[in-house]
Amino acid sequence: MENKEKLRVALLFGGNSSEHDVSKRSAHNIYDAMDKDKYDVALFLMTKNGIFLSEEASKRVFDGEPEDQVVAEELPKLDMSNPLAPIINLGNTENIDVFFPIIHGNLGEDGTIQGLLRLLNKPYVGSEVLGSAMSFDKDITKKILNLAGVRNTDYVLLTPQTAERYTYQELADKLTPTLFVKPANQGSSVGIHMVTSEAEYTSALEDAFRYDDKVLVEEAIQGPEELEISILGNYHPIASVVGAIKVPSEDEFYTYDNKFVDASQVIFDIPVDIPVELSQEITEMGLNAFKALGLRGLARIDFLVSEDGVPYLGEVNTLPGFTNISLYPQMWEKSGISYVELIDRLIRLAEDEYDHQAKILHDFKALDPKDQDI
């Protein structure tokens, strides 16, 4: 990357998922933590219907103007007959040095934004297209983890075409009496249900299919403790201390409301007091999963530990939240990396990965043409 007095970094935030407002809060935290002597920060909001606003309009929303009002004013300025209209406002970003996407959920974590930024030939924070897509799909994630020997929960995959093959009781006999029903491609506990009867199962399956055509029915771990670890790096990643989430007793698992609506009753225990051997095993599993999925930059990895002390990898989050209650930056704070330094490292990792890929492309082009034939 060319050295400049300041790097111009573009924060991409918002999105069309249920985590739209969470993304906005994450963007504010990242913006506040960025050293303005190092970075000139541009802002681009993706609306709830998947359209990027201009930098000027995005800044208005960022500064507190009602989003619906700004969107109503800005969308008529776009020629929606142009198929590139949703991304047209990113067309004049040649002066951007690094993109920092903080769009959670659909479009942001599933490889879509990553593909766009790759076409723009710009460095960006986080994993590339394939790693993002594989990690966002819980079914594919589990298949990769199984190949890599990383322990995770047993499950049955259902589609609208196969759902009628199983009753609740058949799945309970195959897995556990308590089951978790969850869409394959959703985050933040959206569409996830714990079921213990045929009626609950039928209702949960109907809801889960609202969000995806692939639904996982997973076994329940006995007496689980929810633990988390943060990963940072590209080809030689490092892991944070292990943290724990204690949810209100009336909640059976860490729900969307616990995460983003009312976390007042949630206790974050960082670092959590667990046996050294368990901490080491979780760290090893997290790093192995990060490498197996081909991830870059950052990830928060969630675990369930059974009452007899066995850890199971639950989910991989490639663009975790950066709000004031988000675990990813909290765990690094407790590991000796401040929020400000964390942002610096993520931006450097984005530049390093871009340079690495550019070198691969350069070396490939330098090959004798006959050596490029496969």
302 is in an annotated binding site: yes
Q: Give the contacts of 170 (CB within 8 A, at least 6 positions apart).
A: none
Catalytic residue among 17, 58, 188, 279: 188
Report the distance separating Cα 170 and Cα 184, nearest Å: 21
Report the distance separating Cα 367 and Cα 372, nearest Å: 7
Whether 127 sits among the annotated catalytic residues: the reply is no
Report the distance separating Cα 325 and Cα 337, nearest Å: 17
Amino acid at 233: G
- Tokens representing 167 are 């009753």
Q: Give the contacts of 77 (CB within 8 A, at least 6 positions apart).
A: none
Cα–Cα nearest to 226, from 353, 295, 315, 287: 315
Distances (CA, A) of 6 to 2, 9, 34: 11, 9, 12
- Tokens representing 68 are 């619906």
Please say whether the beta carbons of 123 and 1 come within 8 A.
yes
Catalytic residue among 18, 19, 26, 67: 19
Please say whether the beta carbons of 212 and 186 come within 8 A.
yes
Please say whether the beta carbons of 12 and 113 come within 8 A.
yes
Catalytic residue among 26, 127, 135, 326: 326
Dihedral of alpha carbons 258, 263, 267, 269, sign: positive
Whether 326 sits among the annotated catalytic residues: the reply is yes
121 is in an annotated binding site: no
- Quote the Cα angle for 311-312-313, to 5°: 120
Report the distance separating Cα 354 and Cα 362, nearest Å: 12
317 is in an annotated binding site: yes
Decide: residue 16, CB within 10 A, 0-12 exposed, 13-18 middle, 19+ buried.
Answer: middle
Long-range contacts of 119-122 (CB under 8 A, 24+ apart): 120/90, 120/93, 122/93, 122/96, 122/97, 122/98, 122/354
Whether 19 sits among the annotated catalytic residues: the reply is yes
Catalytic site positions: 19, 188, 326
Q: Binding site: residue ranges?
A: 302, 315, 317
Q: Binding site for Mg(2+): residue ranges?
A: 302, 315, 317
